[in-house]
Amino acid sequence: MRSRKSEVGSRKSEVGSLKSEVRGRKSEVQSWLLLLILPLLLLMACGSGDTSNNEDVQERLDMRGLQEFSSGKQLYIKYCQNCHMEDGKGLGKLIPPLQNSDYLLNNVAAAGRTIKYGLTGPIIVNAIDYNQPMPANPDLTSLEIKELLVYISNAWGNKSKIVTLEEVERALKPNTSD
Ligand code: HEC
C-alpha cells in the first residue's frame, strides 16, 4: 500500500513538474513575443514622427512602398526641397506646388522626365501659370527617380498608386512625347 501511495505521489509530482515546465515554456514564449513586438512598436513610433503630416501612408503603402517613400524623402530634401519647400507647397508665383498638384498627379510617371531633364516654358498648375526653368538632374538613376515619385505623389496628403520602375523607365526614354 505504502509503495503504491508513494508511487502515485511521485507520479503526481512528476505531473506537477511537467505542468510547471509547460508554464515556464509559456512565459518563455510570452517574453519572446514581447521582444518581437517591442522593436515593432518603437519602429512605428519613430516612423510616425518621421512622416509628420503623412500619417496615412503607413496604412496605404506596403513595406516596400514605405521604404521607397522614406528613401524618396531623403532625396527630396537633398534635390528638391530648396525650391518646392518642405511642405510641397512651392513658392508663390515662382515655384509650383507638388502638394495636390493636378499637373503632377495626372501623370506621375511623366514627372520623372521633369526630374531627370528639367523643365522650361510655361505650364499651368491648379489653374495658375508658372514659367521659370527647373534644372535637370541627369545623375539620378531610374530607381532614385521612382523613389522621388513615390514620395512626392504620396506625401502631404497626395494619394497615388505606386509608380512601377517600368512606367518610370518608359517615361524617361528620350523620344516619348509625354
Ligand atoms: C531651382 C528650383 C527647383 C528645384 C531644385 C526643383 N524644381 Fe521642380 N520645378 C521648379 C520650377 C520653376 C518648375 C516650373 C517649371 C516651368 O515653369 O516650366 C518646376 C516644376 C516641377 C514639377 C511639375 C509641376 C508641378 O508642380 O507639379 C514637378 C513634378 C517638379 N518640379 C518636381 C521636382 C522634384 C521632384 C525636384 C527634385 C528632384 C524638383 N522639382 C527640383 C523649380 C525647381
What is the C-alpha to C-alpha distance for residues 149 and 96, in angstroms, rounded to an integer? 16
Q: Is 107 in the pocket of ligand 1 (CB under 6 A)?
A: no
Per domain, the residue ranges of the chain are 1-50, 56-172
- Residue 16's identity, in one-letter code, is G
Query: Does domain 56-172 sit in CATH 1.10.760.10?
Result: yes
Number of CB atoms found within 10 A of residue 18's CB:
10
- 10 Å CB burial of residue 80 (0-12, 13-18, 19+) is buried
pLDDT in tens, 130-158: 999 999 999 999 999 999 999 999 999 99
- 10 Å CB burial of residue 138 (0-12, 13-18, 19+) is exposed
101 has pLDDT over 70: yes
CA of 114 relative to ligand 1 center, distance in Å: 7
**pTM reported for the whole predicted model:** 0.76
pLDDT in tens, 42-74: 555 544 444 455 778 999 999 999 999 999 999
**Which atom of ligand 1 is found nearest the CA of 149?**
35
CA of 74 relative to ligand 1 center, distance in Å: 17
Which of 25-39, 45-59, 163-177 has the lowest average pLDDT? 45-59
Contact partners, residue 96, CB within 8 Å, separation at least 6: 84, 90, 103, 123, 125, 128, 130
* Cα-to-chain-centroid distance, residue 79: 18
CA of 82 relative to ligand 1 center, distance in Å: 10
What is the C-alpha to C-alpha distance for residues 97 and 89, in angstroms, rounded to an integer? 4
